[in-house]
Amino acid sequence: MGSSSADFMAALHIARREHEAGDAENRNAAAQSISEILGQLLIGVDHVGFAVADLDEAVSLWSSMGLREVHRERNDDQGIVEVMMTVGTGTTQIQLLAATSDSSAIASWLSKRGPGIQQIAYRVHDVAAAAEGLRMLGFTLLYELPKRGTHGSLINFVHPKSCGGVLVELVEHISLD
């Protein structure tokens, strides 16, 4: 990536000043600039998360379709245990998410909707900058500051109520960038 995080933050703040100060036409142009910066921050789809009731059963199901387990991790902050599975030779993964506590978002999801797709995760160059840009456009971010995700990544989430009914996770892989 050509630009640094500081460059992105600086560009976002210039666009925000224009957004706040401008008339309708300038506000639209500033919003467009923020969207373009967000486009540069996006790398691709990192994974799609499935809520599952039984992790081993789910691994067995998806393995039978040819997906391969590549990582398993417990995250007590999120109240989950997860398995990442690769799809063919591509870089996109699916993430199987089982609840480890009743207060977990996955336990709540399972009780209301049952097993299924719970989130899509976009890989970004800089999660703080992406969250800041999205806030400027009116999206609701779940966390003020990024939290720890899979493999020590930094994560934040866009609330589904501000995002067309889809829970979007932002992931920054510290070691891969």
The residues binding ligand MC0 (CB under 6 A) are 49, 75, 78, 80, 82, 95, 97, 105-106, 108-109, 112, 118-119, 121, 142, 149-150, 153, 155, 157, 159-161, 165, 167, 169
Q: Which is nearer to ligand MC0, 52 or 97 (CB)?
A: 97
Considering the complex, what minimum distance in angstroms separates the CB of residue 117 from ligand MC0?
8
Q: Can you tell me which residue has the tokens 């925000």?
A: 16
Contact 123, 177 (CB under 8 A): no
Q: Cα separation of 3 and 37, whole Å? A: 10
Contact 115, 55 (CB under 8 A): no
> What amino acid is encoded at 108 in this protein?
S
Considering the complex, what minimum distance in angstroms separates the CB of residue 51 from ligand MC0?
8
Considering the complex, what minimum distance in angstroms separates the CB of residue 92 from ligand MC0?
13
Strand partners of residue 57: none
